[in-house]
Amino acid sequence: MKVLIRSDFYLLLEALRRNNYKTIGPTIKDGAIVYDKINSSEDLPIGWTDKQDAGKYRLEKRNDDALFGYVVGPQSWKKFLNPPIQKLWHAAKTENKFDIIPEKPDDTKFAFIGVRSCELNAIFIQDKVFTSGEYVNQNYKLRRDNAFIVAVNCVESGGTCFCVSMNTGPKAEKGFDISLTEIVKDGHHNFLIESGSEKGEKILSEIPHRTAIQNEINFGNELISNAAATMGRVLDTSNIRNLLLNNLDHPQWDKVAERCLSCANCTMVCPTCFCTTVEDTTDLTGEHAERWQKWDSCFTIDFSYIHGGSIRNSVKSRYRQWMTHKLATWHDQFGTSGCVGCGRCITWCPVEIDITAEVRAIKESSK
């Protein structure tokens, strides 16, 4: 374990850019902490935190200058690994035929700064969706292979966090190139830093650091443990698959449907949801056409449309499909839960629907 002092943090970003990475990290925009291009450490949300609860999100000033003193915002890293809009190909009419030209894959090398453990586990889940099995999404795989991940261990938990329940945090255990634990104490501002890959070791060798003493390591672990002990939510996952699949006609589905707006906010902010649709466009001459892939959601009535109508034409059926897939049948498909406990679906639901409360209601009335 090494120590990087706060005043040298900018050198980490410079080293990444020197190695041809485009640095993406948290920054404040439109009253929220979002992920966007950052040019320096001054672009980070220095001294800001987020307060979250069901249907509530606001930024507040901290009493220190922490760089990563927030939890998670409305965006996830899938925005860069599986962009919301992608052109797949375009076609041009020639004299006797159409030529279909595939879109050139995006080979940008991204460095993701500030990836939380829950988000890292969400990336692992999307890796299974897009890169395992017979059909590999080559565009996703290229972006994933080119990504450099700087993880940040959580030393505080948020009001809607429940990563401990999902065994996905608050400490990043694997899959990162570099991990950081931010410590602001007694006038000192440092980062415990460790590499998790050869790429990470190379970057670490290019920036100043010293070996951490045991007291520093112990204090960092204590902060992480405190975060684990103060989660804003709890989800009992014991036998959750059978619980949900054995209660498909439970009256709680009707109750949640009375509130749900079917707005798809939960799927848009979720770091693991991956549903998409394709749209074809053409110009007025009929000589040029394009196919685009766009994010979609199981909450839209058209998502389950087949000849004759939509399979899930009620809000009840769409909410039930989302939650049972996320927490139950995802295990059948991918061998893991589709939820990482980040709490975004709770925070960004305009009518304050809480997935942990919905599971609890079904569980308590099924005893």
Domain boundaries, the chain: 2-229, 240-365
The sign one gets for the Cα dihedral 166, 171, 175, 180 is: positive
Q: How confident is the model at residue 301 (pLDDT cuts 50, 70, 90)?
A: very high
Give residue 93's pLDDT: 87
pTM of the model: 0.94
Q: Quick check: 2 pLDDT over 70?
A: yes
Spell out the residues 6+ positions from residue 361 whose beta carbon is closer than 8 angstroms to its own.
252, 255
Q: How far apart are CA 152 and CA 45, in angstroms?
A: 14
Buried b (16+ CB within 10 A) or exposed e, 321-348: bbbbbbbbebeeebebbbbbbbbbbbbb
Determine the average pLDDT of the residues in 30-39. Answer: 96
Q: Quick check: 45 pLDDT over 90?
A: yes
Return mean pLDDT, the chain. 95
Peptide bond connecting 170 to the previous residue in cis, omega within 30 degrees of 0: yes
pLDDT in tens, 224-273: 999 999 999 999 999 999 999 999 999 999 999 999 999 999 999 999 99
* Dihedral angle computed from the Cα positions of residues 184, 190, 196 and 201, in that order, rounded to the nearest 10 degrees: 170
Which residue, 130, 140, 82, 92, is CA-closest to 294?
82
Determine the average pLDDT of the residues in 121-125. Answer: 98
Give residue 367's pLDDT: 64
Q: How confident is the model at residue 8 (pLDDT cuts 50, 70, 90)?
A: very high
pLDDT in tens, 55-86: 999 999 999 999 999 999 999 999 999 999 99
Give residue 66's pLDDT: 97
Q: How confident is the model at residue 133 (pLDDT cuts 50, 70, 90)?
A: confident
H or E, element range at 88: strand 85-93
Q: How far apart are CA 87 and CA 290, in angstroms?
A: 7
Using CA atoms, how far residue 275 sits from 78, 297, 342, in Å, is: 12, 6, 19
Which residue, 33, 58, 188, 173, is CA-closest to 113?
33
Say how many C-beta atoms besides its own lie within 10 A of residue 123's C-beta.
21
Give residue 154's pLDDT: 97
Determine the average pLDDT of the residues in 203-225. Answer: 96
Q: How far apart are CA 275 and CA 120, in angstroms?
A: 19
Identity at 320, one-letter amino acid code: R
Q: How confident is the model at residue 284 (pLDDT cuts 50, 70, 90)?
A: confident
CB 207 within 8 A of CB 5: no
Long-range CB contact pairs, 283-288, < 8 A, 24+: 286/93, 287/92, 287/93, 288/90, 288/91, 288/92, 288/93
Share of the chain above pLDDT 90, in %: 92
Q: Quick check: 157 pLDDT over 90?
A: yes
